[in-house]
Amino acid sequence: MNTAQATVESPPRHSPVASGPLDQLARHDGARLESMYRAGAVPESLAVLDGNPAGRMLAVRGLERGLTRGPLRSLAAAPFFPWGGKSFSSAGPAATQGRGINRVHLGGRHLLFPFETRVEASAIDGEPTVVLDYDLGDNPRLIARIHDEIREVEPGLYLGPAMWKSGPARVLVLWFALDTRAQAPSIGWG
């Protein structure tokens, strides 16, 4: 798969629906987000993720307190923020596996950094989670070291940690969310 499959001119990427739940999650610090994540659930089928859910970076480890928190939250919510979410395609209606790709906005809309999805034990708490595995041949080595997970924290709203693979360990880098109720326009993947 080519990591830059499509580039198109883009309409505004955030819908009014997307701002509510994602903005609410962005108000929480990392400890609260982790608590919510631990209480989250894995969907019965990964097909519920299919499409282009709106995405938002929520909190960056080490930058979530003090003077950096407000500006960082504003930057992540800005229409020019480079990460717009992820697009998913499951292996069928009862799927426990699938694939996906990141939507990146740099001089247009791009699809970059594919991943495979599956349910397995979380690096956070050992409980089942949806893992987004970037260790694929199409990805640069740096991207292949990313380990993302997501769980549903309210109907249609998914929260997850983005981590860095450091040998067998996973080091938390940031928290992000995806809202399947607020779909971004398709840009040619799926």
Provide the pLDDT for residue 105. Answer: 85
CA dihedral of residues 125, 64, 59, 26 (deg, nearest 10): 110
Task: From 138, 179, 167, select the one nearest 16 (Cα to Cα).
Answer: 179
109-121 and 97-105 beta bridge pairing: antiparallel
Task: From 58, 158, 59, 155, select the one nearest 100 (Cα to Cα).
Answer: 158
Q: Is 151 exposed, middle or buried (0-12, 13-18, 19+ CB in 10 A)?
A: buried
pTM, two decimals, is 0.83
Compute the distance between CA of residue 171 and CA of residue 163 in angstroms, rounded to an integer: 5
The CATH architecture to which 19-183 belongs is Beta Barrel (2.40)
Domain ranges of the chain: 19-183
Provide the pLDDT for residue 59. Answer: 85
Distance from chain centroid for Cα 77: 14
Provide the pLDDT for residue 144. Answer: 96
Provide the pLDDT for residue 9. Answer: 34
Low-confidence ranges of the chain (pLDDT < 70): 1-19, 62-75, 187-190
Rounded alpha-carbon distances, angstroms, from residue 34 to 1, 104, 161, 176: 33, 25, 8, 11
53-60 and 169-183 beta bridge pairing: antiparallel
Provide the pLDDT for residue 92. Answer: 79
